[in-house]
Amino acid sequence: MTVYETDIPGVGRKFEMDIGGGERVVVVVHHDRRCEVFRRPDPDADSEKLLDLSSDQANKLGSILEGAYFESVDVGSLTVPLGDAIIEWWEVEDGSSFAGRTLAEMNVRAETGVSVIAVQRGDETIANPDPEFEVADGDLLVTVGTRAEQNALEELLG
């Protein structure tokens, strides 16, 4: 991963990082330690400002991103009392072929091997939804299954 650095006379320093697909994150650190964060979707596009952070806010965000507040783990080596099964959350995107269909119609377990153990709809949680439960745009499906089964569901969801 390449980070490009450029001095901006009278302002500070600019950092650009490729994040894939031609997209870049651009951070301008001002002499007063204030930071601006931009997103540039492709090399020919204008940058879109995402954040304007004070020095304290930038330091806090940097600490979070660095892992000072939460240390992530390698999910491949994660052991839980579910054996090889893991729990994942999947959002039903607007216009998904899942929306407006019941769990029985989607046949998720037979197609992928995962079980839908709950659905989060807004502030409401539907635990152990029955097969006739109709999924809607924006629902969050909570599923349990192996990594391979979860990957199959990801493909099915598109």
For the chain, give every domain's residue range: 3-66, 75-157
User: CA–CA distance from 10 to each of 31, 40, 109, 117 (Å)?
Assistant: 8, 23, 60, 56
pLDDT tens digit sequence for 32-49: 989 999 999 887 888 899
Architecture of domain 75-157: 2-Layer Sandwich (3.30)
- Of the listed ranges 58-62, 71-75, 90-94, the least confidently predicted one is 71-75
- pTM beyond 0.75: the answer is no
